[in-house]
Amino acid sequence: MTEPAKPEVAATTAAARKSSRDGKPSATIYDIAKLAGVNPSTVSRALSKPGRVSAKTQKLIEDAAAELNYHVNPFARALPTGRTSTLGLIVADITNPTFFGIIRGAESTATARNYTLMLAESAESAETELTAARRMMATVDGLILASPRMDDDRIRELAREKPVVVINREVDGVPCVVPEVNKGIGEAVRSLAANGHSRIAYVAGPQRSWMSGRRWEGVQAACEWSRLEAVRLESVKPTVDGGRQAARDVVASGATAVITYNDLLAIGLMQELQAAAVVVPDRISIVGFDDIFGADFTTPPLTTVRSPMTACGTEAATLLLNVLHGAEQVAAIVRVDTELVLRGSSGRLLPAN
């Protein structure tokens, strides 16, 4: 006697009966069951939760599904279970190479756990970020916010609806993955001090960036320890063009060394200074932040504080999946170390001619 279809079977079957793009009827779990010689309910168990049937039966069903070009519709499955096996990731700027590692780390971790990663960006806007988050919340099981621009209350409000993990920011009550900047910044400042620099400028990132403020605090603390003077300079945007526009302020500040909020600012600053015949690093040393792809392509190659973004993406996705799968204990904050990568853009200060 054939077993009655379970709710997830009915939902998946209803979706599968829709025609595919080429006009041919899509395969259903009943087609798979017939080809594999098993009950439809067995097919449902094998496809929704591998491991609930024997290895031999699982192989039969997977081979039949592949032969019929069958694909599970995650949104149909979500009807009875409330889960789509999908994670959301929102980054502040999808064109910024800083986020490439985060995306890769989160994607590889999600894939390894049979989840799909959906990506969106906020374009450095808190309002756009909230809109994207609201839309994603309707279809994902949980959300990762990378360098969010929303305030803490908004983030906690989202976290009350579905699990949320934050990268590059600390938010009370929400799991976070945060690079420990003090180690890398301390190494950078000590290196600059050893090369004869006494006044260091910090070119800041966006005003709504929690991490920019954290890095400025780290520069101040490290300079105080090394008995150097620290001055903060603002940037119009955290991009190469923003770095170019900050060059005049850097020169006017009298600083002989600069630490920037990110590598893009450092690259733009270096380009503009060189165009003005200011020799890097003889007259001004430059240290970036993050060690993005291409940081060593500049002339001279960029000294930078490496922030392990791939590890951040991996840790964030792991935290989120642990919450979704009912882990009894989840770390409130995961910290990853930063380190100085010495290249040619920083060095000994040469005396003026």
Alpha-carbon gap, residue 36 to 17, rounded angstroms: 19
Alpha-carbon gap, residue 116 to 72, rounded angstroms: 12
pTM of the model: 0.77
Alpha-carbon gap, residue 185 to 339, rounded angstroms: 8
Q: Are residues 89 and 170 in the same domain?
A: yes
Residues 129 and 150: beta-carbon distance below 8 Å? yes
**Cα distances (Å, whole numbers) of residue 111 to 115, 133, 235, 317, 334:** 5, 21, 37, 10, 21
Alpha-carbon gap, residue 28 to 330, rounded angstroms: 39
Q: Which of 173, 266, 256, 260 is nearest to 211 (CA)?
A: 260
Amino acid present at 150: M
- 15 is in which domain, residue-wise? 7-80
Tokens linked to 81? 């279970």
Range from 2-16, 65-79, 108-122, 232-246 carrying the lowest mean pLDDT? 2-16
- Is the pLDDT at 61 greater than 50? The verdict is yes
Range from 35-39, 169-173, 189-193, 299-303 carrying the lowest mean pLDDT? 35-39
Per-residue pLDDT at 13: 39
- Is the pLDDT at 27 greater than 90? The verdict is no
Residues 201 and 188: beta-carbon distance below 8 Å? no
Query: In whole angstroms, what separates CA 23 from the centre of its chain?
Result: 39
Q: Are residues 302 and 317 in the same domain?
A: no
Domain end (from 62, 80, 98): 80
Q: Which of 211, 209, 177 is nearest to 320 (CA)?
A: 177
Average pLDDT over residues 282-305: 96
- Kindly give the residue spans of alpha helices, DSSP state H, lying in 205-350: 210-225, 240-253, 263-275, 309-324
Alpha-carbon gap, residue 154 to 281, rounded angstroms: 43
Average pLDDT over residues 91-113: 95
Q: Are residues 240 and 314 in the same domain?
A: no
Give the phi and the psi of residue 142 in degrees, each rounded to 5.
Answer: -165, 165
- Residue 220 in any domain: the answer is yes
Q: Are residues 191 and 262 in the same domain?
A: yes
Q: Are residues 201 and 229 in the same domain?
A: yes
- Report the relative pairing of strands 116-121 and 257-260 from DSSP bridges: unpaired
Q: Are residues 261 and 248 in the same domain?
A: yes
Per-residue pLDDT at 3: 44
- Residue 351 in any domain: the answer is no
Residues 176 and 151: beta-carbon distance below 8 Å? no
CATH number at residue 107: 3.40.50.2300
- Is the pLDDT at 6 greater than 90? The verdict is no
C-alpha angle 45/48/54, rounded to 5°? 45
Per-residue pLDDT at 12: 41
- Residue 27 in any domain: the answer is yes
Domain count for the chain, please give it. 3
Give the start-end residues of each E strand in the chain: 86-91, 116-121, 142-146, 164-167, 176-180, 199-203, 229-233, 257-260, 285-290, 303-306, 333-337, 339-341
Share of the chain above pLDDT 70, in %: 88
Q: Which of 93, 82, 30, 85 is nearest to 61 (CA)?
A: 30
Per-residue pLDDT at 23: 52
Alpha-carbon gap, residue 289 to 204, rounded angstroms: 11
- Is the pLDDT at 96 greater than 60? The verdict is yes
How far apart, in Å, do the first and last CA atoms of the chain sit?
96
Q: Are residues 116 and 186 in the same domain?
A: no
Q: Are residues 213 and 321 in the same domain?
A: no
Alpha-carbon gap, residue 223 to 297, rounded angstroms: 29
- Is the pLDDT at 80 greater than 70? The verdict is no
Query: In whole angstroms, what separates CA 203 from the centre of its chain?
Result: 22
Radius of gyration of the CA atoms of the chain, in A: 26
- Residue 123 in any domain: the answer is yes
